[in-house]
Amino acid sequence: MSLIDIRKRSLTIETIHHEGGPPPDEPLRLAASCAVIRNPYAGRYEPDLMPFMAELRALGTLLAQELVDTLGREQVQVYSKAAIVGVNGELEHAAVWHEAGGWAIRAVLGEPKAIVPASKVVAATGYRLMVPLHYIHAAYVRSHYNSMEIGIQDAPRPDEILFALVVGTGGRIHARLGGLTREQVSVHDGQR
């Protein structure tokens, strides 16, 4: 029997044309793919979460592929992952997404070098979570530090978890605060 029971999914797309300055040649697009599943461990302590984490790779691949299909694989420059656990769960039920969601988005994108940032919380139904984003090939590209809000009005219920992957097509509109640019990345170690 599968540990993954999806109640609903959502896909949110933001298109940013400007932030008060001149419009760029192409608007920035951010997208979040979310799935709300039953928490198989709600209300009880489970010492072995490894089978759940392993099974979540398939869900991660589903969400990652939806994002790539939406924005185009070659267009993705930033990424992240997030989880909101309903109040009958624990933070460790969100932490399983670090490996499962991170592995999935990297696999679908062709193994970019930078870590996949994350945000996670145990919260009530309808909670909104800001998810950090950064450049997929190097963590220190300052122009690409950004965030996107995720959440679903009726989720997660107390016995559910909302898992999300987030991607975008570039850095912040009007980024002009210096630092390493994506064109300067040369080490290819995901750091600088």
CATH of residue 57: 3.30.1330.110
**Predicted confidence band at 186 (pLDDT cuts at 50, 70, 90)?**
confident
pLDDT at 1: 77
Domain that holds residue 174: 6-184
Dump strand ranges (E) for the chain: 6-16, 28-38, 78-85, 118-122, 129-135, 146-150, 160-168
Predicted local distance difference test score (pLDDT) of residue 189: 63
- Residue 1 maps to a domain: no
Q: Is residue 98 part of a domain?
A: yes
Predicted confidence at residue 55, as pLDDT, reads 97
In angstroms, the first-to-last Cα distance of the chain is: 44
Q: How far is CA 8 from CA 24, 36, 159, 161, 174, in A?
A: 35, 5, 14, 11, 35
What's this model's pTM, rounded to 2 decimal places? Answer: 0.96
Residue 14 lies in a domain: yes
Residue 192 binned pLDDT confidence (cut-offs 50, 70, 90): low
Q: Which two tokens stand for residue 169?
A: 């097509």
Residue 191 lies in a domain: no
pLDDT of 89 reads 98
Is 148's pLDDT higher than 90? yes
The reply to whether 38 falls in a domain is yes
Q: Quick check: 120 and 104 in contact, CB under 8 A?
A: no
CA–CA distance, 93 with 122 (Å, rounded to integer): 9
Task: From 176, 133, 167, select the one nearest 12 (Cα to Cα).
Answer: 167
